[in-house]
């Protein structure tokens, strides 16, 4: 089954404790992206990647890192999480044809206390 | 700058009522347009998309949207909503040939049985 898999689904952590949210897709998609969703703000893009070893900042990259060492994986790293990073995070991927839709993962709800 | 505006933050309808959710975009050049739906606790799923051709686009679950170039609009419609349509709806746009999607802030639809 074609899917984007994120882990974990829920995460509660404390300020400053490094964490990684994993994202993996099995569709051989070139494009992958991370979004955060906050009430009243919709989805805002954090980082995206056009292919292996190619990443770029989205609209709200501060406080986040990503890597794309393999085509299928695109982890999101919070080196020193802060409470304002409490949010719902979605990973998404898209194939080579830019007319194709984004496929979203099931989301990771992160709480930073 | 590219932007997508959704006029309504929260819409409440009774079952069988007709639905129209507004979406306006600001983009230079040719644009691809999408509507995504997010059911409670789930990830975003594609409802419908417009790339070119017939400006009236039909999607899943009886939804349709009309691209009106002169008004920079891509409103979502459904003639008769059901309780199961309760969800949040996101309009999104990208430049033709671009992977980058800009999302609106979303419209929450509540359908009362």
At residue A71, does pLDDT exceed 90? yes
Give the burial string for A50-73 (b: 16+ CB within 10 Å, else e).
eeeeebeebebbeebebebeebbb
Q: Does B100 fall in a domain?
A: no
Q: Is residue A59 scored above 70 in pLDDT? A: yes
Q: Does some domain include residue B81?
A: no
Residue B51 has pLDDT above 80, yes or no: yes
B44 contacts A102? CB cut-off 8 A? yes
Domain harbouring B66, CATH code:
2.60.40.10
Cβ <8 Å between B100 and A105: no
What distance in Å separates the CA atoms of residue B52 and residue A101, rounded to the nearest whole number?
15
No. of helices (H) and no. of strands (E), chain A: 0, 11
* Cross-chain residue pair A104–B90, CB shorter than 8 Å: no
CB contact under 8 A, B101 and A102: yes
How many domains is chain B partitioned into structurally?
1
**Domain assignment of residue B26, given as a range:** 1-75+107-113
Whether omega for the bond prior to residue A8 falls within 30 degrees of 0, making it cis, is yes
Q: Tell me whether residue B101 is in a domain.
A: no
The reported pLDDT for the residue numbered B49 is 92
- Chain A's closest residue to B47, CA to CA, is A101
Q: Write out the E strands in B39-106.
A: 44-50, 56-58, 64-68, 73-78, 87-95, 102-103
Site of tokens 């990771």: A108
Helix, strand, coil percentages, rounded to 5, for chain B? 10, 55, 35
Identify the band that residue A99 occupies on the pLDDT scale cut at 50, 70 and 90: low
Best to test chain A binding among B99, B104, B106 (most A CBs inside 10 Å): B99
- Residues of chain B with pLDDT > 90, as a percent, come to 77
HSE (side-chain half, CA atoms, 13 Å) at B63:
21
Q: Could you tell me if residue B102 is inside a domain?
A: no
Residues B61-78 pLDDT 10s: 999 999 999 999 999 999
Contacts of B8 in chain A (CB under 8 A): none
- In chain A, which residue's Cα lies nearest the Cα of B52? A99
Residue B25 domain-assigned (yes or no) = yes
Give Rg (Cα) of chain B.
Answer: 13
Give contacts of A109 with chain B, Cβ < 8 Å: none
Closest chain B CA to residue A89: B43
The answer to whether residue B56 sits within a structural domain is: yes
Distance separating alpha carbons of residues B85 and A18, to the nearest angstrom: 39
Closest Cβ opposite residue A42 in set B49, B90, B98: B90
Residue B65, domain member (yes or no): yes
Minimum-distance CB partner of B99 among A44, A50, A90? A50
Count of pairs with CB atoms under 8 A, one residue in A, one in B: 48
With respect to residue B93, please indicate whether it lies within any of the assigned structural domains: no
């Amino acid at each position: 089954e074609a899917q984007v898999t994120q882990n974990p689904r829920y995460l509660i952590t404390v300020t400053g404790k490094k964490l990684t949210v994993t994202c993996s897709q099995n569709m051989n998609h070139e494009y992958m992206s991370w979004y955060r969703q906050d009430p009243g703000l919709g989805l805002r893009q954090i980082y995206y990647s056009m292919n292996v070893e190619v990443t770029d900042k989205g609209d709200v990259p501060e406080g986040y890192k990503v890597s794309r060492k393999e085509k299928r994986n695109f982890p999101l790293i919070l080196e020193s999480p802060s409470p304002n990073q409490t949010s719902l995070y979605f990973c998404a991927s898209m194939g080579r044809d830019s007319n194709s839709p984004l496929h979203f993962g099931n989301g990771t709800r992160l709480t930073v206390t | 700058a590219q932007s997508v505006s959704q006029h309504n933050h929260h819409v409440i309808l009774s079952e069988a009522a007709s639905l129209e959710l507004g979406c306006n975009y600001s983009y230079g050049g040719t644009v691809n347009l999408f509507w995504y739906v997010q059911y409670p606790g789930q990830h975003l799923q594609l409802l419908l998309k417009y790339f070119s051709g017939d400006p009236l686009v039909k999607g899943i679950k009886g939804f349709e949207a009309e691209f009106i170039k002169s008004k920079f609009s891509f409103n979502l419609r459904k003639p008769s909503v059901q309780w199961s349509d309760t969800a949040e709806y996101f309009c999104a746009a990208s430049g033709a040939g671009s992977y980058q999607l800009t999302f609106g802030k979303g419209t929450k639809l509540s359908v009362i049985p």
